[in-house]
């Protein structure tokens, strides 16, 4: 308990809350006993993290709109991101779980780590209040927040590009594989994103999907550079085409 508390940067007054936050439901199931597991604390911790990460993003990115803040928050509280934080603090080795769950990789399973991290946030909130939970959120998520840089980045360039273009015209962009090279085990693809008959960007990737994502990212970068009051370049922000129908 002391080792985990030092990693978390918080000392519990009621350590039974921490013990419950670490208890996977499989432990009670295998032992045929009624044990308090972390599911209720997970429910509470999910809401606590949603609120506190919303606050951190709101203060850090003062120019970001609601849509962007919502997207970035959803990335931070995703099972994958929470599991990443859990692995960084070696949370898996502290979990209390049934032998069968452990044998099948439960200590390193994304869902187990994410659930336990949320439960810990809920436990800290109950034990120390909102300020303690806020300090925990800052402590655990600073690395991920710093990784966003000065502007939150959309992890879905294709979706962001489509949203931007369809605000101009309902026609969707499409992607075309221009070329591919290399042996089967190490192929390289070049993709172009086309919209209204115009090529907006090209990308290279080890798969068709990766090349398409890179093409969308290049198209977004090209458009961003021209978003100035006096721009005249023909980029994403200025391209228009006839409305169909």
The residues annotated with a catalytic role in the active site are 46, 118
Pair 21, 119: CB distance under 8 Å: yes
Q: Residues 103-116, buried b or exposed e (16+ Cβ, 10 A)?
A: eeebbebbebbbbb
CA distances from 177 to 172, 187, 212, 223 (A): 17, 13, 8, 22
Q: Quote the DSSP letter at residue 172.
A: P
Q: Which of 138, 137, 136 is nearest to 5 (CA)?
A: 136
List, as own/partner pairs, every contact residues 89-94 make where C-beta atoms lie below 8 angstroms and the sequence separation is at least 24, other chains included.
Answer: 89/7, 89/8, 89/140, 90/7, 91/4, 91/116, 91/117, 94/4, 94/22
Strand ranges for 82-197 from DSSP E:
174-181, 188-195
CA distance 50 to 151: 20
């Amino acid at each position: 308990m002391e080792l985990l508390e030092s990693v978390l940067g918080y000392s519990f007054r009621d350590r039974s809350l921490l013990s419950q936050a670490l208890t996977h439901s499989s432990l009670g199931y295998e032992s045929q006993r009624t044990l308090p597991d972390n599911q209720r604390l997970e429910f509470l911790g999910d809401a606590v993290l949603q609120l506190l990460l919303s606050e951190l993003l709101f203060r850090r990115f003062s120019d970001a709109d609601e849509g962007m803040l919502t997207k970035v928050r959803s990335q931070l509280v995703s099972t994958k991101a929470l599991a990443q934080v859990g692995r960084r603090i070696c949370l898996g080795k502290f979990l209390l779980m049934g032998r069968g769950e452990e044998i099948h990789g439960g200590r390193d399973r994304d869902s187990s780590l994410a659930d336990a991290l949320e439960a810990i946030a809920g436990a800290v909130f109950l034990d120390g209040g909102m300020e303690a939970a806020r300090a925990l959120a800052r402590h655990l998520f600073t690395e991920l927040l710093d990784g966003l840089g000065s502007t939150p980045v959309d992890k879905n360039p294709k979706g962001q590009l489509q949203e931007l273009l369809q605000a101009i015209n309902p026609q969707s962009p499409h992607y075309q594989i221009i070329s591919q090279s290399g042996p089967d085990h190490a192929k390289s693809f070049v993709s172009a994103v086309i919209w209204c008959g115009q090529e907006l960007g090209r990308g290279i990737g080890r798969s068709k999907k990766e090349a398409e994502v890179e093409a969308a990212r290049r198209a977004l970068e090209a458009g961003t550079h021209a978003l100035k009051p006096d721009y005249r370049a023909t980029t994403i922000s200025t391209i228009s085409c006839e409305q169909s129908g």
